[in-house]
Chain A
Amino acid sequence: MGGLSAAIRLQNEGYDVEVYEKESIPGGKMHQIKTGGYTFDVGPTLVQIK
């Protein structure tokens, strides 16, 4: 989301921005799982340096 936020702001400022995303969908850690008719939000279950 940090990448998309930066991309939107810079594109809006007039920069020519291209985003390279490893996955096939946007959002990074903010992911979504659909299974058995239910939808689960996957949040920032990431680690951070102390």
Chain B
Amino acid sequence: MQIWDTTGTIPRPQRVAAILWLSFLMAGIATGIFFSLIDPMELKYCVDFPEVNRTAAYSVGFLLFWLLTGTSSMLAVFFTHPCADGPEAPHDSPDRN
């Protein structure tokens, strides 16, 4: 079973874009909303938050969001792979086991 070749018909750049690029956009939106509501400088009063400047907090926040959304996209792409003997598995799929 190939993890990345989900249906055998989607070109590689499209699969990479579906994982990395869309999650990048969503992480950007999430970062924007999160940090416009929450000031990272005030987080340290509430939780044990490391002493960093705002730029670093935003950057790390964005990268963490990206990790999260990217993982979700990766799992979504992975789960679109047809199940081995599922009714929807295409009969002429080249990588069908």
A pairs with B: no
Spell out A's residues near B (CB within 8 Å). none
Spell out B's residues near A (CB within 8 Å). none
